[in-house]
Amino acid sequence: MPMKKPADDLIAADKQCLWHPFTPGQIWLDSGDEPARLIVEAQGFRLIDSRGDSFIDGFSSLWCNLHGHRVPQIDAAIRAQLEKVSHTTLLGHASGPSIELGRRLVQHAPPGLARVFYSDSGATAVEVALKMAYQYWLNRGRPRRRFMALQHGYHGDTIGAVSVGGIDSFHQIFRPMLFETTLMPSPCPYVHPLGASAVPAVLEQIEQALAAAPEEYCAMIVEPLVQGAGGMLTHGEGFLAGVREITRRHDVLLIVDEVATGFCRTGRLFACENEDVAPDLMCLGKGLSGGYLPLAATLATREIFDAFSDGGDKTFFHGHTFTGNALACAAGVASFDLIFSSGLLDTLSAKEELIARRLGELADHPHVAEVRQRGMMVGVQLVQDRAARQEFDPALRTGAGVCMHARRHGVLTRPLGDVVVLMPAPAMDLATLDELLKATVTSIREYFDGTRI
Ligand code: PLP
């Protein structure tokens, strides 16, 4: 009898014991070791599985990896911290790496953001921002309870974050559990009926809604420039700046959710820099630790912090056991420093141009409605009929099929419905990036023309 390999045992145990996120159960159980390969190792921008196959990490391990895997500087920082202490609490105690990282965040964040509150995932960074906004108004003696958000928006999967979410397929079933949120249309020309003229129309709607209900809204929350999980929906120029202007004029807080867009994804360190926007609260996650360890942060203005600390018992009763974890913050410090010492920000425009040029080859493809790109965030929108913009039957799982096919060309990524997502690590070198792009173009062509290898 052939000896069972350890990887086979693990794959079998995975099917028996684990429950994978955002994964249709039956398809998962019926699918052998596809769609999930057992990743056992990584090298730079490549992931290696238990069969020894190597893949370019085309989606930054779910949009978090910044500099590649096994980066010597980040590995060394974690090891050095490991030699001291892995974790101590920030509840009433301080810890060096969290301070070092906090200092850097305040220095480089948009102006006015002066305080860093740590948590451990993008969703918790959003929960913290929502609760801070709510209690801020309470502490100021002007209680409010509504939030405003965008259709197709995504802010994580905890109940507060879901309450401000706008993706029906993710969020609809939970509506009875959620607090009320006013959803404004997304200004992405692909989904808005007015197309390229969406920005002024949506801004006008926001203006009217806030003017009609003064003193009702705690905050508006937006993903700046790109609604990632909604399908890489890019916003027209001026939308974010317009939202800032309107919220400020109506004295409503602006929460910018940079969990996906932060850390060099849109050509700048933070996406809101592209429109010179300074929010009242900013949520960070994913790339904050270089994509190494779970770490998130909510940055707040001095004015918000002061509303919790200007006398009386105005404590913000929120915290997590692993808040400000020392290993994660040490990774964050090393990643932050590497962004600047490597000159990463200066390398981005050449990469963005390469992406636009290569994926421009799909411009006339009959099943590609459009390629949406902002910086290094990309969505290739697949459709049944390009002229009529008719979508594929979701049951066909076309986006998933294309991504599965791309594995044969050495690319790992994950679709959003029928949007093929590419979100390579910002530090990916041009040669690897070119390989990723060519393989993606080939995979899409082959999938549809029947020459699937
Ligand atoms: N906010 C945005 C904009 C995101 O894209 C995500 C995740 O994709 C989240 C929040 C939630 O982050 P996490 O999965 O770390 O909870």
| 185 and 151 Cβ atoms separated by less than 8 Å | yes
Query: What is the spatial distance between Cα 415 and Cα 399, in angstroms, rounded to a whole number?
Result: 6
Q: How far is the CA of 299 from the centre of ligand 1 (A)?
A: 16
List residues bridging with 421 in a β-sheet. Answer: 379
Q: Output the DSSP codes for 203-272.
A: HHHHHHHHHHSTTTEEEEEE-SSEETTTTSEEPPTTHHHHHHHHHHHTT-EEEEE-TTTTTTTTSSSSGG
Q: What is the pTM of this model?
A: 0.97
Residue 406 in contact with ligand 1 by CB distance below 6 A: no
State how far the Cα of 118 lies from the Cα of 318, in Å rounded to an integer: 10
Say if ligand 1 is within 6 A of residue 260 CB: yes
Q: Cα of 257 to ligand 1 centre, how many Å?
A: 9
Q: Alpha-carbon distance 327 to 81, whole Å?
A: 6
Q: Residues 6 or more apart from 296 whose CB is under 8 A from it?
A: 118, 119, 120, 121, 122, 124, 125, 259, 283, 284, 285, 288
Q: Answer whether 61's CB lies under 8 Å from 289's CB.
A: no
CA 119 / ligand 1 centre spacing (Å): 13
C-alpha of residue 281 to centroid of ligand 1, in Å = 16
Q: Quick check: CB of 320 below 6 Å from ligand 1?
A: no
Nearest to 50 by CA among 4, 17, 88: 4
What does each of the 453 residues of the chain score in pLDDT, given as a tens digit?
Answer: 556 678 888 988 898 999 989 888 777 787 765 656 899 999 999 999 999 999 999 999 999 999 999 999 999 999 999 999 999 999 999 999 999 999 999 999 999 999 999 999 999 999 999 999 999 999 999 999 999 999 999 999 999 999 999 999 898 899 999 998 999 999 999 999 999 999 999 999 999 999 999 899 999 999 999 999 999 999 999 999 999 999 999 999 999 999 999 999 999 999 999 999 999 999 999 999 999 999 999 999 999 999 999 887 899 999 999 999 999 999 999 999 999 999 999 999 999 999 999 999 999 999 999 999 999 999 999 999 998 989 999 999 999 999 999 999 999 999 999 999 999 999 999 999 999 999 999 999 999 987 654
Residue 260 backbone phi and psi in degrees, to 5: -90, -40
Contact in structure between 258 and 283 (CB atoms under 8 Å): yes
